[in-house]
Amino acid sequence: MAGLAASGAQAETGAAGQALAAVAQQQDTHLEALARSKGWQGLEHSLESQVLGETDSLAPCSEPLSVTAEAARPDPLARQRYRVKCPAGWQRVVVSQASARLPVLVSRVSIERGATLEASQLERKVMPLERLRQGFHQDPAEVVGQSARRSLRAGQVIGPANLAPPVLVRRGQRVTVLATAGGLNASVEAEALEDGRLGERIKLRNVSSRKPLEAKVTGPGQVRLP
């Protein structure tokens, strides 16, 4: 995982500054764990936090503060309330909200439905995580060679719902039909009557006999009879 970048340093000093720094450190730890578990690369974040109640009368804590999330299972990307305690006797509640951003793949140009995606059509753009709820990709290897399930506009985030396995056989294409019988291999030439992806059964027409048949797509321009 690439290093986690944080911004939005707190300007408070004294006890308030200590409380905010302690919460920020805990949030950093939680976000690092989240990014690691999701396999995210290059996560950036900022944190807006506020100490509830007055702090001017509180002496800076000379010992490490304890920070406890009020939620049983805190979501580091949701608004959170933390109880911060100083062993010397004071405690305060800190409310915080993290904003996260990720570099994700977007289409550099408009891409037509059914087109095979190429590396030159992709670029990275840093996007707020809340705008990535439909999914995203960061690794070009997950995208290049896939087929666009629908038309993509320039700058659109490329998510799993936008992609389909590549079309290996095109309608109207002449393909080799392989068959095995009695330990012998045979092949005939046929015309595809529909598009096909790996593992799909498609309809074809024997070029010589003009008879219809169905076969499974096994590779680019190749199909096999069951």
Write out pLDDT tens, residues 121-146.
Answer: 999 999 999 999 999 999 999 999 99
Sign of CA dihedral 11, 61, 28, 78: negative
Confirm if 92 and 55 have CB atoms less than 8 A apart. Answer: yes
Residues of the chain with CATH 2.30.30.760: 167-224
Average pLDDT, the chain: 90
Give the C-alpha separation, 32 to 186, whole Å.
57
At residue 194, the pLDDT reads: 96
130 is written with which tokens? 């809340």
Give the C-alpha separation, 22 to 17, whole Å.
9
Residues with Cβ within 8 Å of residue 150, at least 6 apart in sequence: 113, 162
42 is written with which tokens? 């290059």
Hey, what CATH topology would domain 102-164 get? Answer: Type Iii Antifreeze Protein Isoform Hplc 12 (3.90.1210)
- φ, ψ of residue 41 in degrees (nearest 5): -115, 135
Residues of the chain with CATH 3.90.1210.10: 102-164
Residues with Cβ within 8 Å of residue 196, at least 6 apart in sequence: 167, 168, 169, 202, 217, 223
**Single pTM value for the model:** 0.71
CATH number assigned to the domain with residue range 167-224, chosen from the 4 options 1.20.58.100, 3.30.420.40, 2.30.30.760, 3.40.640.10: 2.30.30.760
Give the C-alpha separation, 196 to 222, whole Å.
10
Residues with Cβ within 8 Å of residue 13, at least 6 apart in sequence: none
- Given a cut of 80, whether residue 10 has pLDDT beyond it is no
At residue 22, the pLDDT reads: 95
**Residue 182: which region, alpha, beta or left (left: phi > 0; alpha: psi -120 to 50)?**
left
At residue 11, the pLDDT reads: 54
- Given a cut of 90, whether residue 105 has pLDDT beyond it is yes
Which helix (DSSP H) or strand (DSSP E) does residue 104 occupy?
strand 91-107
Bridge partners of 174, per DSSP, are: 191
- DSSP 8-state symbol, 116: B
Please write the tens of the pLDDT for every residue from 186-225: 889 999 999 999 999 999 999 999 999 999 999 999 999 9
| Average pLDDT of the segment spanning 183-188 | 86
Where does 12-159 have alpha helices with state H? 14-38
Give the C-alpha separation, 39 to 137, whole Å.
11
- Given a cut of 80, whether residue 61 has pLDDT beyond it is yes
222 is written with which tokens? 């190749």
Please write the tens of the pLDDT for every residue from 62-103: 999 999 999 888 788 889 999 999 998 899 999 999 999 999
